[in-house]
Amino acid sequence: MEEEATRKLQKPKNEVIDTDSLAMSALPEDANAAPGFMRMTFNQIGSEASVASGTAVPLGLIIRPLAPFGMAEEKVGLVNGQTTSGVMRCSKCRAYVNPFMRFTDNGHKVVCNFCGNVDPVPTEYFCGLDADGRRYDVAERPELRCGSVEFIAPAEFTNRHPQGPIYLFVLDVSFYAVSSNLLPMWVEAIREVLAGLPQDPRIQIGFVTYDKTVHFWHTKSGSAMLRMTVAHQLDGVAVPTPSGIMTNLVEQRETVNTILQTIAETHATDPVGEACVGAAMEAASSVLQATGGKLMLFQASIPTVGPGKGKPRDEVRLYGTDKEKTLYQPQDPFWRRLGMACVQRLVACDIFCYAQKPLELPSVSIVSKLTGGQIYFNNQAKPEDKQTLIMNLRRNMSRNQGWEAVMRVRCSENLSISDYYGNFSMQNDTDMDIVSLDCDKAMAVQFKYEGKLPKYVSFQVALLYTNMNGERRIRVHTQCLTTTSQLSNVFRGADVDAIVNFSLRQSLQACLTSTVQSARDALIKRCVNTLHVYRKSCATSSSLAQLILPESLKLLPLYTLGLLKTNLLRKASEVRSDERAFLMAAFNSMPIKMVMKYVFPTLLPLHNMEPECGLIGEGNEICLPTQISASSEQLDGTGLYLLDTGMSLYIWVGRHCPPDMLLDVFGCMFDDISSQLPVLNTELNQKINAVTTQVQNMGGYWRPCEVMKQRHPGESKVYAHLIEDKSAPGYNMSYVEFLCHVHSQIQAKMR
């Protein structure tokens, strides 16, 4: 005890500075990272846990670190080495320099806005302060005036040669893939996309195929002769693998085309009915072990042989039981082991699957989720699938992305992170390991209180990654928010879109730990509890017969109903486990704007667009018509409407549409309209095509635009997404009825 007391006496005291009297380098309203990068569930935070818990909504942050610049409002500033020791950071909490750190002692010391620690300013970074206490060089330093910056990573952040664009295609050549003409479609799509890639000498391409055995396609060093090595032994197929599998696309483009042609021809006859999906993925991961890269799996059959082979799932018997959650989890621990092996090898997995029959996607998808990959799911093969595949594959390989990434989130003292949501892995309690991260991916973290908060609280996201040019960078996003002791102020600053995105992620977790029904019940309960707290604590006294909603959360009941009517949260018996596993993976990493399209489908009238719609407007983007309510009451039999559900795209044609309009748009009369929107040399057709293309580009997935005629087969696809109607499946209430239900629940709590 005496020694411990002595150590406490000898420990130097931290310098205490009244930070409120010091000026930030920039004000939060001017310097905060844009909402496209970081979005909190509340823009003003309760100063204590008792205040925050009153909202019944978690304090959370949605992060989209590589968001396109248009969505993030401004480009990310680039900062080269600041000091001889690298990037300036707090010596205690290791937060990166940002606009909300405060300088004191005539510029010789800096106060961390996260932990309050005081550090000396390195000599080479020193600058004097003006009369307001701000550095004279703020305008010349992006890190002191912008909430989002990118630092060139010091040498110690590079453990090996930075990863480049390396893609290994793993193609299913079993009976179903061949007999349904999927294989030739895959081959043609891959060939077309590869032909359009930039002439980057770093691009490496390779091919592995599989049925009941694994086939490696390679060339021998110094020879152009193509070889196919077959691995019959499926256990341990990964060791050793042949050399010469990866090919430089720029230097050997003809070889790549020859391999694709040979794959299509070799497996066109006498296909084998079994598929060793697990063994093929394990072998591909081993091929990429030395370099890392992307494993692009094309799957049409359930794993039937080799490691990880699937067993039939008795879905009907498990619905509504404690074992329902197992329907969405891997059957065999092999798949999680494979996923973690891919993380260690820096191999990301993207999956293109076609599920006319069970695929065991709950098992296979875990590899993609752990590595930050993406899944493309198709219920059935259709003629337009080739174009869809080409567009999705092209975007996948050309969008802004990074590799071998590590991300950490920091927050002010008296806050800590309680939960992480997204597709990544974690080797420790603080760092998210993301093998592949692109501009369409978002993660979320939830915070908990450890004590009372000061006037300002800060949040920072630091992403270490390799960009598309092979450069190691540290991208840093920082936000500074104010706190309040008034619950009404917290509600006033609520962000309903972020709250819905967060609620969706919580529902995903509930499906994996309980049942879909329990996730649905919890969703409604959260909505009711939040509105009840507002009514009880913030609303002025009024009759219980009146439903009172906070201005910021007026749409919360509507969005909650939308979630209940999605395929993701529809009753378990209504959605196959493969499709739900895909949706779980997709929405666990989907950014806010894309999620909201799925929760509240976008319905746009095309027949009465404003003159500027379909033309290029501000921001060099196509102007869109004004969105209307997703209700059948909005569908006029004399009009045309575009419906974007986030996962599909429809044009609804009223049967009483004027003949002149039909000729302008489709080139024919109502009865002769096909399922595809044509391209014609008329003003209205070109505008509608421009609007459709703009809507397509706003989504993370390419959705073929399907034309639906009123009172014709297939029209029910449109009505299924009009969530304000009672007829929309998933929850047997219209929006008005659901509002009444929520109101009655609030009234019961108030009595």
Spell out a b/e string for 360-394, using b for 16 or more CB atoms within 10 Å of the CB, else e.
bbbbbbbbbbbbbbbbbbbeebeeebbebbbbbbb
Is it the case that residue 699 has pLDDT exceeding 60?
A: yes
pLDDT for position 472: 93
Give the tokens for residue 603.
């319905």
* Percent with pLDDT over 70 in the chain: 94
Is it the case that residue 323 has pLDDT exceeding 80?
A: yes
Categorize the per-residue pLDDT at 462 as very low, low, confident or very high, splitting at 50, 70 and 90.
very high
pLDDT for position 276: 96
Is it the case that residue 11 has pLDDT exceeding 50?
A: no
pLDDT for position 239: 65
Contact 438, 605 (CB under 8 A): no
Categorize the per-residue pLDDT at 15 as very low, low, confident or very high, splitting at 50, 70 and 90.
very low
pLDDT for position 5: 38
pLDDT tens sequence across 254-291 = 999 999 999 999 998 888 989 999 999 999 999 999 99
Is it the case that residue 7 has pLDDT exceeding 80?
A: no
Query: Per the omega criterion (within 30 degrees of 0), is the bond before 240 cis?
Result: yes
Residues 6+ apart with CB under 8 A from 169: 190, 205, 206, 207, 208, 296, 298
Burial category of 327 from C-beta neighbours within 10 Å (exposed 0-12, middle 13-18, buried 19 and up): buried
Is it the case that residue 578 has pLDDT exceeding 60?
A: yes
Contact 125, 56 (CB under 8 A): no
CA-CA-CA-CA dihedral for 460, 466, 470, 471, to nearest 10: 30
pLDDT for position 74: 60
For 485, phi then psi, to 5°, come to -95, 0
The amino acid that residue 729 corresponds to is P
Give the C-alpha separation, 519 to 524, whole Å: 9
Residues 6+ apart with CB under 8 A from 458: 95, 98, 100, 113, 114, 410, 411, 412, 478, 479, 480, 481
Mean pLDDT (whole number) for 391-414: 95
Give the tokens for residue 245.
């599998």
Q: List 81's β-bridge partners, or say none.
A: none
pLDDT for position 203: 96
Mean pLDDT (whole number) for 718-745: 89
Give the C-alpha separation, 580 to 577, whole Å: 5
Distances (CA, A) of 711 to 355, 606, 654, 719: 29, 19, 9, 11
pLDDT tens sequence across 34-43 = 999 999 999 9
Residues 6+ apart with CB under 8 A from 570: 516, 564, 729, 730
Q: Strands 705-709 and 649-653: what pairing? A: parallel
Helix (H) or strand (E) holding 475: strand 472-484
Categorize the per-residue pLDDT at 13 as very low, low, confident or very high, splitting at 50, 70 and 90.
very low
Q: List 670's β-bridge partners, or say none.
A: none
Give the tokens for residue 421.
């949501």
Is it the case that residue 307 has pLDDT exceeding 90?
A: yes
CA-CA-CA-CA dihedral for 745, 749, 750, 751, to nearest 10: 100
pLDDT for position 23: 79
Size of the chain in residues: 751
Q: Which residue has the higher pLDDT, 77 or 389?
A: 389
The mean of the pLDDT values for the chain is 90
* Percent with pLDDT over 90 in the chain: 73
Categorize the per-residue pLDDT at 652 as very low, low, confident or very high, splitting at 50, 70 and 90.
very high
Give the C-alpha separation, 214 to 240, whole Å: 13
Q: What is the DSSP letter of 296?
A: E
Contact 688, 677 (CB under 8 A): yes
Which of 27-31, 257-261, 505-509, 517-521 has the weakest average pLDDT? Answer: 27-31
Contact 458, 134 (CB under 8 A): no
pLDDT tens sequence across 182-204 = 999 999 999 999 999 999 999 99
pLDDT for position 2: 36
Q: Which residue has the higher pLDDT, 321 or 263?
A: 263
Give the C-alpha separation, 244 to 217, whole Å: 8
Mean pLDDT (whole number) for 497-518: 93
Long-range Cβ contact pairs of 505-511 (< 8 A, separation 24 or more)? 505/421, 505/444, 505/587, 505/588, 506/58, 506/421, 507/563, 507/568, 507/569, 508/421, 508/568, 508/584, 508/587, 508/588, 509/421, 511/325, 511/328, 511/569, 511/580, 511/584
pTM summary value: 0.92
pLDDT tens sequence across 196-239 = 999 999 999 999 999 999 999 998 765 668 889 999 888 877 66
pLDDT for position 19: 54
For 490, phi then psi, to 5°, come to -60, -45
Helix (H) or strand (E) holding 387: helix 385-398
Mean pLDDT (whole number) for 576-580: 90
Categorize the per-residue pLDDT at 102 as very low, low, confident or very high, splitting at 50, 70 and 90.
very high
Is it the case that residue 139 has pLDDT exceeding 50?
A: yes
Domains and their CATH numbers in the chain: 14-68+77-145+402-485 (2.60.40.1670), 166-313+323-399 (3.40.50.410), 497-593+733-750 (1.20.120.730), 601-719 (3.40.20.10)
Is it the case that residue 316 has pLDDT exceeding 70?
A: yes
Q: List 226's β-bridge partners, or say none.
A: 219
Nearest 5 degrees, angle CA 623-CA 629-CA 630?
A: 105
Contact 502, 523 (CB under 8 A): no
Mean pLDDT (whole number) for 87-110: 95
Q: Which residue has the higher pLDDT, 627 or 313?
A: 627
pLDDT tens sequence across 586-604 = 999 999 999 999 999 999 9
pLDDT for position 4: 41
For 58, phi then psi, to 5°, come to -70, 150
Residues 6+ apart with CB under 8 A from 356: 176, 180, 379, 380, 381
Is it the case that residue 676 has pLDDT exceeding 50?
A: yes
Give the C-alpha separation, 563 to 527, whole Å: 12
Give the C-alpha separation, 558 to 735, whole Å: 7
Categorize the per-residue pLDDT at 6 as very low, low, confident or very high, splitting at 50, 70 and 90.
very low
Q: What is the DSSP letter of 382?
A: -
Categorize the per-residue pLDDT at 627 as very low, low, confident or very high, splitting at 50, 70 and 90.
very high
Burial category of 156 from C-beta neighbours within 10 Å (exposed 0-12, middle 13-18, buried 19 and up): exposed
Helix (H) or strand (E) holding 293: strand 293-299
pLDDT for position 541: 66
pLDDT for position 3: 39
pLDDT for position 9: 33
